[in-house]
Amino acid sequence: MIDEENVQLFKALSEETRYKIIKVLLDGERCACEIPDLIGKTQSNTSMHLAKLQNWGIIKVRKDGKMRLYSIDNEKVRKILKILEE
């Protein structure tokens, strides 16, 4: 359902840590190991938020050896943040 998807998207964007993660991922795929330093949060806190974003279908993950690489998986996110930055 589109309404539920939109609610989840706005929940993601309204929380500071998730917003920062999304902003970092707008620049491209990132390893889970580098995201905490980029957003100024702990690894455990970041992991919790990455899991929520993945469950909501906002980001995706792929494995490359031992690395977990995250990227945006929802084009609405890109469009919304582009509008906000105008």
Comparing 49 with 86, which gets the higher pLDDT?
49
Range 44-59 average pLDDT: 95
Structure confidence by residue, pLDDT tens digits, 30-40: 999 999 999 99
Output the pLDDT for position 29.
97
Distance CA 30, CA 13 (A): 19
Strands in 1-86 per DSSP E? 30-31, 59-64, 67-72
For residue 5, the model assigns a pLDDT of 82
- Segment 54-72, tens digit of pLDDT: 999 999 999 999 999 999 9
CATH number, domain 2-85, options 2.30.40.10, 3.40.190.10, 1.10.1240.10, 1.10.10.10: 1.10.10.10
Question: Is there a contact between 31 and 68 (Cβ–Cβ < 8 Å)?
Answer: yes
